[in-house]
Amino acid sequence: MAGTSPDFDPEEFRSAIHSVMELGAPPDPAERVTFYFARSLVYNTPVDDDNTPFDPSATVTEQPPRAVTVPCAVEYADREGEPVPFGVVTASKLLITLLDEDYDQVKGCAYVVAGGDKYLYRRTVPPMGLYSVGVYQMIFIAENEL
């Protein structure tokens, strides 16, 4: 069967990679990468395709951004994409690597916060894989670099 190997255990691989990601993560959970989804508006009446309520007297409630934390590897880079040199306070770019099941939880996020700094989503690199396990890389840019 294509994409499989009799000697490859995808769950064992995922567990091992997650262990390595945990090893490289900051010890303080508050400093770990957190993925955020855009705020949303919820109306008390039906809305059209542009999220505009049909009733002009409708009320709206703003929902805060949803936050998700998953195991991931983070590479910090400068504007040119080179590893961040010693002395740089905030990296210009982040390259975040995730396994497929974790990527499914954060796909569509608007930004991440890492170490207290905010980085805006730019794009996802075409996926790679190891047999039946997908590997995704997402690129984020520091919000003050825009």
**Cβ proximity of 96 and 33 under 8 Å:** yes
How distant is the alpha carbon of residue 9 from its chain centre? 25
Question: Which tens digits make up the pLDDT trace of 71-121?
Answer: 999 998 877 666 666 555 567 899 999 999 999 999 999 999 998 899 999
**Cβ proximity of 43 and 60 under 8 Å:** yes
**Cβ proximity of 130 and 3 under 8 Å:** no
One-letter-per-residue 3-state SS of 24-42 = HCCCCHHHCCEEECCCEEE
**Mean pLDDT value across residues 126-133:** 92
**Cβ proximity of 112 and 63 under 8 Å:** no
Question: What mean pLDDT, rounded, does the chain reach?
Answer: 88
What's the pTM value of the predicted model, to 2 decimals? 0.80
